[in-house]
């Protein structure tokens, strides 16, 4: 699990600047992103855009 910090972001709970870390979580064959404030521990899960992961929109045949 590799955490990436989000530059310039402010925590909505404690309002600290540059404390939000983003990483991917694998649960039951489903991968989603999670954001957590490393100062206060507040967690958020960004919404998944419609028609995103798991849906094949095309195949490449060379």
What would the pLDDT profile of 10-62 be if each residue is shown by its tens digit? 999 999 999 999 988 887 777 788 999 999 999 998 776 665 556 666 677 76
**Domain for residue 51, yes or no?**
no
- DSSP code for 53: T
Q: Rounded to two decimals, what is the model's pTM?
A: 0.66
> What is the predicted pLDDT for the residue at 20?
94
DSSP annotation string for 8-44: T-B-TTT--BS-EEEEEEEETTEEEEEEEETTT--EE
Total domain count, the chain: 1
**Domain for residue 27, yes or no?**
yes
What are the two backbone dihedrals, phi and then psi, of residue 11, each rounded to the nearest 5 degrees?
Answer: -65, 130
Among 27, 28, 22, 25, residue whose Cα is nearest residue 6: 22
Query: 13 is in which domain, residue-wise?
Result: 4-44
> What is the predicted pLDDT for the residue at 40?
96
**Domain for residue 36, yes or no?**
yes
**Domain for residue 37, yes or no?**
yes
**Domain for residue 24, yes or no?**
yes
**Domain for residue 61, yes or no?**
no
**Domain for residue 34, yes or no?**
yes
């Amino acid at each position: 699990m590799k955490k990436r910090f989000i530059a310039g972001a402010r925590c909505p709970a404690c309002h600290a600047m540059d404390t939000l870390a983003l990483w991917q979580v694998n649960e039951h064959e489903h991968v989603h992103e999670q954001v957590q404030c490393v100062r206060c521990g507040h967690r958020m899960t960004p919404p998944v855009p419609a028609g995103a992961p798991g849906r094949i929109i095309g195949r490449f045949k060379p």
